[in-house]
Structure 1
């Protein structure tokens, strides 16, 4: 089972706070600083930040992330003299809520993707990326952002051990970002583009309960494909 970065980081911080600890509080026999726990805290923080980066409303968590970095790094004072200040009650509550969300995402993720599913997902993403070349010049900023999302998905697919929770989040984020761009494509390109996006999210829907983004895409794609949501349509 995957380690929950939110609850694991809170456990470390609670341990430091309970001892009124400093960042370098734990030492080994010969007097050298033992950085193992601090390294673990950093790894969990990176993982937590990466998980949040997939949220559509990630900007709302910026203050939490800044507070966590300040607690773990303590940049404004000497390492050996800096007490670890507790998070606010609100941020602790947010961490516990995010921990529950992470646990839910992990438990609903399929244990594995078959070779066929992986190839289907890769082909759908590559087709989306190819069609994005037809996006008009004045929409290139949104196009480039979506291409970057697709690139991240393809990189994750290429890993020996695929992070399925992260890959699903990135896939759904990319599929959700596809809808606004679909309306600026030609009718033929729009149909192929949205069908590819549906195949991408369908990789996960076929294995587990559909996520919110996949559901929105599925409900919105049909009228887009038929042209019902195009400007000037009735």
Structure 2
């Protein structure tokens, strides 16, 4: 029995190290290669029959308004943290302490890790894997690459992924030509892109976009997105 237990433990340890090595290699590959597809894209296509509108663009080919808008809306500490906003995480855990599903506190780095490598759910296993991949991309990718991947894979409507496809889908123009207001509207709908519209914004989205526009000026003034240059 002891021999079998040792064999099982050894096999589990080898399997664990294999998974860790695979995750490191996968992350390193995506530093230089555009992710061809993400788990969310596959799930949406399989379960909802959603299409796949996506056009990869380098960060230089995107409007600087959009970069500033996303940082202003999603993660103003992006250039300064190591992947996690601990104050936001503490607040989220306090809010979730009554047993509700985990939510809140995610940085752009965490969202990039989740969208590039993992499945959409709020369970502890997924959150743990998200933390691991967040550490990996923060160590293996420059901040500029993290934001570039994020802006190219994030969902902006049913079957619409990435800034270029979103700009063409919603505003009939390239992401390089987005105005300040259009960028703010796109950033605002990110938390719920299948329910909120940047082209037909309701009162909440319109008000929130105005707030983001003001924050964008602060992001530009204080260099909060300079790590993406």
The answer, yes or no, to whether TM exceeds 0.5 is no
Larger radius of gyration: 1
Q: Normalized per residue, which structure has more helix?
A: 1
